[in-house]
Each structure stands twice: as structure tokens, then as C-alpha cells.
Amino acid sequence: MNKQEYLEQEIVKEFIDWLIPRISGKVEFNHDYINSRDKSSWKCNSIFNAFEKYKWRFNCVIPNKGKISGNTFIESKDALEIIEKGMKYSIQENNQKNLLEYSSSILEWGGVKRSNYDKLKGMEENITNYYKDSIKRLNPETVNTKDDFSGINMNSGFTKIYSLLINNFVIYDSRVGAALGLLIKSFLTEKNIARIPDELNFAYGNARPTKNDKGPINRRNPSNEKYKFPVLTNNDKKHIKNNIYANWLLKEISDNSKFQNESSPIRALESALFMIGYSVN
């Protein structure tokens, strides 16, 4: 399936039409939870309001800039723009050393450095070609889900890397997947649709447990008795397909909603979903 074919699906069109008024608040969308890490309360009354209440505390070291930290959308946006520029220039100049350092920066920003950095470091002089190949094959405008995507890594770390290198490529992680599942469940319930259609069957990821978590319930699982969403496991190809569908869907929504007035509409919508998806049950 390509982008045009996906967006022409009737169920996709219906979901977009259902969601857009919940972005502006024309139709109420209320969501709240308690952060299990610090016991703070968070709530929103529209999807755009979730974006307005974005926060993500980050710390990362950026080449020639040193350590940078922050927690607002603007602070993250400024840091990511520096990293993006550095990565793209390093690819252009075939500078593997700098490219690896900037890759480390985005992984640190997202708190997902761990094994991802080791995987990139192991590519050695092939890292530039790896990125060039991934950029070409994952381009939302030309990608087709019929591709087998062999040789392309994908997880919560690599999706952040691609989001800087590829236009209109969203960060698809456990929180974004959980938020999409929550919204789609509400849509399907309201429309009395019997099953989750393949085009909207987004996977969620397991939340990292904290010392304050109680019980076996995964706060990122949007499923109920009727609608069972899949789990985002360590399967590169399935994660890529979820990311591609999300790229197409969120681009269309952001360009035709209140988010269109933001400097980066799709990134703003992604950030709103990130906040909503912290806890969905």
C-alpha cells in the first residue's frame, strides 16, 4: 500500500473526520492520569490542549554545544534542530565520526541510547550508507508497505533518528501508539464498528515500570474486551509498517486541523499524542 491508497480508504477518512473536531475542542476530548514516577497530575480537554501541556525532561550532549537540557516543546525543538542539521551535514560530508556523535545526541535526548548506540557504532564506516539507504526507502511520499524493509532497523530509538532525517516522519514509540489506540477505540465504539480495521490497528508498547506502579496492568494498553490492539514487540518490519501508517495519517490530520498553524504541524500533533499516551487505561 502507498500513501494515496491508504488515505483513500473509507475507514481512514471517517476516522480523520471524527478526530479533527476533537483537536480544536469543538468536540470535547478529556483525558487525565497520574504520573507514576512523581505522582503529578496531568489532564487535557482537547488534543491541541495536550500539545500545549507538553513536557519531556531531556539531557543530551551535542557536538560543539556541550550538555543541553530542557523540558518544554520549544526547548526540545531547538535542540533537535541542531542535531538534525549536524546529522544531515555529516551525511553530506561522509563524516562517520560526527554522524555517530550526533546520533548519540538524539538517542540521549530520547532516553533510548542503550543498545541502539552499540548497533550504530558496529556499522563503522557503513553508517553513512546505512542512513542514505534508510532515508530513501522510508520516504513517506514514495514508500510502499510491499517493501520487505530488509536491513532497516526500527525501534523506539531508530524512529527518533529517522524523524530528523526524513521529512514528515513521526516518532512512533509506545506512547504515540497507545494514544492512537485510545482514540481509535473511542471512534470504533462510537461508530459501533465490530472490529479494528487493519488500517487503524496500531500497536502500543509496554511501559517501563516504576517503583510506584501497582498491579499487572500496563498503562499503555488501550485495549478493552471488544477491541484488542497488538503489542509493539521487537519486530522491525511490524514497527516500520506502524510508523509508515502513522506518518501518512498524522500528516493528513495535522495539515487539516488546528495544528496547521504551528511551525511543524506533524511534530506538534505527535507531541500531543506523546502526552496523551503516557497512560491510556
Low-confidence ranges of the chain (pLDDT < 70): 208-217
pLDDT on residue 38: 87
Q: DSSP secondary-structure letter at 70? A: E
Q: How far apart are CA 220 and CA 228, in angstroms?
A: 13
Report pTM: 0.96
Q: Give the pLDDT confidence score for residue 217 in this predicted structure.
A: 63
User: What pLDDT was estimated at residue 214?
Assistant: 57
pLDDT at 281: 85
Contact 33/42 with Cβ under 8 angstroms?
yes
> Long-range contacts of range 58-63, CB-CB < 8 Å, 24 or more positions apart?
58/108, 58/109, 58/110, 58/111, 59/108, 60/105, 60/106, 60/108, 60/109, 61/104, 61/105, 61/108, 62/86, 62/102, 62/105, 63/98, 63/101, 63/102, 63/105
